[in-house]
Amino acid sequence: MPKVVDHDMRRKEIARALWAVVARGGFEAASARAIAAEGGWSLGALRHYFDSQEGLVEFAAWELIDGAGARIEAVYAAMPPGHTRCLRALEELLPLDEIREGEVRSWLAILAKAGVSPALHHLRESGLSTERHLCRMVVAELSGGRRPVLGEPLPQTLEAEAVELHATIAGLCLHLAASPRLMSPANAVRVLKRQLSRIEAHAADIPADRAGRANMSPS
């Protein structure tokens, strides 16, 4: 009988092979031949699923974004609202274990490549918008506000907190991925805990009329 191939799984395997090659040599090393060799496939088999590197990179990038999003949704579904849930959700964006370290390194490679490849700009913006939305969700939850819809800025003071939180996440990701000697996972979590505690304390000092006033500034 002919071998039955799970095509969705094969695409995911090819995406993982792409990131393995990129991790070792950057996108410059990610030729079709190198990716095929990584997974033990023929070039023809690889091109059966992706006829261009751009198509493969887009699929692989969405796998990263959707994978992190699914884990965050699972955290929100499994835990009650509050500081601990917010912390656990944000931790899914940090390279605190081998799997998430690989994801962050891959995402940093996408950000670098998007700087010189207009075709990837939409991936960069989608990923960063998703991160900003999570930061807004966290700030809204810690301040007792309603959960924002995707793309909706928070009231002005709280939006500033979300922007700062997003910048902290980005900085922690970079330090953990590039300089693990200077920033350990335990230290990164402590930094994040302190920032969430500060957001809670700050939100308690915001008068209700100010906290509820809409801000239409861009994200």
114 with 121: CB under 8 angstroms?
A: yes
The pLDDT assigned to 170 comes to 96
Helix, coil or strand: residue 75: helix
User: Do 1-51 and 53-211 agree at the fold level?
Assistant: no
165 with 138: CB under 8 angstroms?
A: yes
The pLDDT assigned to 77 comes to 96
The pLDDT assigned to 142 comes to 95
The pLDDT assigned to 51 comes to 87
Mean pLDDT in residue range 157-175:
96
* 51 burial type by CB count under 10 A (0-12 exposed, 13-18 middle, 19+ buried): exposed
* Segments in the chain forming alpha helices (H): 7-25, 32-39, 43-49, 53-78, 83-91, 98-114, 121-142, 156-178, 185-204, 208-211
Mean pLDDT in residue range 77-96:
96
| Confidence band, pLDDT 50/70/90 cuts, at residue 138 | very high
The answer regarding whether domain 53-211 maps to CATH 1.10.357.10 reads yes
Mean pLDDT computed over every residue of the chain: 88
Please tell me the pTM assigned to this model.
Answer: 0.85
For 186, phi and psi rounded to 5 degrees? -65, -40
Share of the chain above pLDDT 70, in %: 91
Domain locations along the chain: 1-51, 53-211
| 61's tokens | 């990038």
Lowest mean pLDDT among 2-16, 88-102, 131-145, 187-201: 2-16
In angstroms, rounded to a whole number, what is the distance separating the alpha carbons of residues 68 and 148?
Answer: 19
CATH code of the domain occupying 1-51: 1.10.10
| 80's tokens | 């009650």
| Confidence band, pLDDT 50/70/90 cuts, at residue 216 | very low
How is residue 180 annotated by DSSP?
Answer: T
